[in-house]
Structure 1
């Protein structure tokens, strides 16, 4: 009995030491790789590309992954990259995702790797900038792939690295982004058991991680409302039906859906009109105008209810004023939902990477992510990584002044690596 007890203690000690050694190796190699991760990030920042046009970015990523000996596929969902690492130990199939596209925004920062790139967007020449931090996501995942490749014999299961194009939305009527990746089977062959992703946060201090179980980021819908009236001379509005005036009433009416019709104690709702097209001359009342905007919800039932109320509000107001309104709603993303059991089992991995004192649960956000489509196919967990310089004021995503401190991107690398070892070791 004593010998059996001693054997159990010995086996437990060896296992514990092995796990501790793995964590130490991850820490050491991620830290040693940090200068390269920063270099990759700054190269990508200086050479941004718009969604479905990330050809140079695709080649840059693929060349690195091939140098690590991974199985690499390019051209997924047009410009995406998928790589497979088969570990030396049995375990699950874990997917890690990074988005790779930039935005049509002019950069106003003074960093030495500032973007001056111009590109075509729907027939117009526009400035291009990584104004949401996707360059950091790519660099972190490239670093994760390198660290895990050096530890391949100890890696449990299979790791699928997904570099996704067009997260900000493909141009015009093109397909793209996570929906197209899912459609092309990225979550199969091998079938993914769980998928993880992160997003740099310009309002969260570097070195920190925030997460939320359940609904985390909002669904995103785009709507367009066409209002038809009757043209008239601007000096005699009573001889026509003014679609601009009707539209103004509808826009005001949409806000009553938020303030008076939805239970905001259950989940937030946002309706924003961001675009208005109508009229050609100051003294001509046009026959037709249109305006467009976005809907953000964090509950599927509320999302459908808002759809119906927008249609009813627009139609009834237009009819009451003698016109008509046609509503079109296009779903862009689903609610980004973090599987509670997966979150619970992953918190320890994040704490190992960043320190328990730097990991905390946050609140949901009305920002949206097409990572949500991957979560329709497997348990998913999406979290935020701090990118704000210590003691600084936060900058806003999707603006010319967006700024990230990249000096602690190794925390993201460590988080992904620890997730692979902690979740992947269970054979599915």
Structure 2
């Protein structure tokens, strides 16, 4: 599809053009990453043009499985519903290291104007929605396929086994479903073979080629908030005869903002409470009986998380009581804090420096975004790294963030991403 045989041969030739060393050299990895870069770009554009929502990544999974099999990987499909696991056993004995990429897109209408922009739609929670790779997961898959190509060309010199985890539904499954890292783990993604450490990479709007991370807590924990209110329907001209759901919604939102800003110590630990969905009513002159609101909670400690859950539930119930309605807040689909193992974080900096000399920050700010990579990190030592992908002509202050309909990246940084993944995997196996 993308000139597989010729590219693999080229990568292999670059990797073994010199006499075999104890491990592939920095120059060999750099040359191999450069050689596979056109394929990485092609994969990214193909996946970007054909995005799929969580647990629906059928086309993406088929592409991944096909490419991995052609590279000589042992491949397991339908892991965690649509996930793919690729296993490459090196020519020398050793430990097992895993690299992870997420595959799912978002219900976002693309507005980038790219020639390969998405025009796809899909069904999400009962509605037909536009679909876009607005979080960069298309680039994650493409870079990990590039990494697979580089590693396949160096197989005989790899000391141990590399496991590639192509994961669905990182953004969370739709209501009533399970998915993501939780199901990958349940289906044995870390057990066959037993993984000793896992690394992940996420692209964002930071400076191009910058690699950022921090030890211990890095990305926030995340909960889905679902607020339901049952009131009394009435004519829009007679709000006193029922319960005004618009007023209830407004008071709940004000309460959430006040809790986040005024009822917790914002200096001790960051936290965010956001309401992003409000559903009520069918007609302009009918005050409805039902209100549903959805949002997200982000925290960096268990104590703060539990405190905010209690405060939100109490506030929502109290507002309902005040209006004579029944209101409830439920928290679900929790992701824990993404925790970077301190020991791995210490030595991995040298590996990242080989990928992007002078562009590594090992004390990056906390990120209020959340990641279900955190579930892998609860099982085995892990490090999660951010890759900056902002185009040179886009000012930092106005760069579209992940989840924006305008989100795009500089494709040149894929080379850095591939090198980072290869060096993290190879260096871990060498150290062990």
Is the CA contact (8 Å cut-off) linking 1:94 and 1:158 kept in structure 2? yes
Q: 1:228 is matched with which residue: 218, 230, 242?
A: 230
**Residue equivalent to 2:419:** 414
Q: Does structure 1 conserve the Cα–Cα contact (< 8 Å) formed by 2:352 and 2:360?
A: no
The secondary structure found in structure 1 opposite 2:411 is coil
Q: How is 1:170-189 mapped onto 2 (pairs within 5 angstroms)?
A: 170-189=173-192
Give the 5 Å matches for 1:345-384: 345-384=347-386
Q: How far 1:233 sits from its partner (Å)?
A: 4.2
Distance 2:94 2:263 in 1: 48
The answer as to whether partners of 2:209 and 2:359 remain within 8 angstroms in 1 is no
Q: Is the partner of 1:197 in helix, strand or coil?
A: strand
- Any gaps of 5 or more consecutive residues in structure 2? 1-19
Change (3 A) 1:125 1:249: closer
Asked if the contact 1:250/1:318 (under 8 Å) is kept, the reply is no
Partner residue of 1:14? none
Higher Rg: 1
**TM-score, normalised to structure 1's length?**
0.90
> CA 1:352 to 1:328, structure 2 compared with 1: closer, same or farther past 3 Å?
same
Partner residue of 2:264? 262
Q: Secondary structure at the match of 1:58?
A: helix
Hey, what's the Cα distance between the residues in 2 that align with 1:283 and 1:125?
27
| Aligned equivalent of 1:33, options 36, 39, 42 | 36
The within-5 A match list for 1:205-216 is 205-216=207-218
Report 1:103-118 matches (<5 A): 103-118=106-121
Instruction: Flag structure 1 segments of 5+ consecutive residues without an equivalent.
Output: 1-16
What is the alpha-carbon distance in structure 2 between the residues aligned to residue 149 and residue 234 of structure 1?
A: 66
- Counterpart of 2:345? 343
Superimposed CA distance per residue, residues 94-140 of structure 1 (whole angstroms, 9 cap, x where no aligned partner):
11000111122222223222222233334433322211111111111
In the alignment, the residues of structure 1 paired with residue 301 and residue 368 of structure 2 have an alpha-carbon distance, to the nearest angstrom, of: 11
Q: 1:286 corresponds to which residue?
A: 288
| Cα RMSD (Å) | 2.0
Q: C-alpha separation between the residues in 2 aligned to 1:234 and 1:21?
A: 72
Q: CA deviation at 1:257?
A: 1.4
**Which 4+ stretches in 1 moved above 6 angstroms?**
none
CA drift of 1:236 comes to 4.2
1:310 positional shift: 0.8
Partner of 2:170: 167
Instruction: Report whether the alignment pairs 1:402 with 2:407.
Output: yes
- Quote how far apart the aligned CAs of 1:360 are: 4.9
Corresponding residue for 1:82?
85
**Per the alignment, in what secondary structure is the counterpart of residue 356 of structure 1?**
coil
Conserved? CA contact 2:90–2:157, under 8 Å: yes
Task: Note if contact 1:86-1:159 (Cα within 8 Å) is conserved in structure 2.
Answer: yes
Candidates 42, 45, 56, aligned match of 1:42: 45
Aligned residues: 410
- What does residue 307 of structure 1 align with? 309
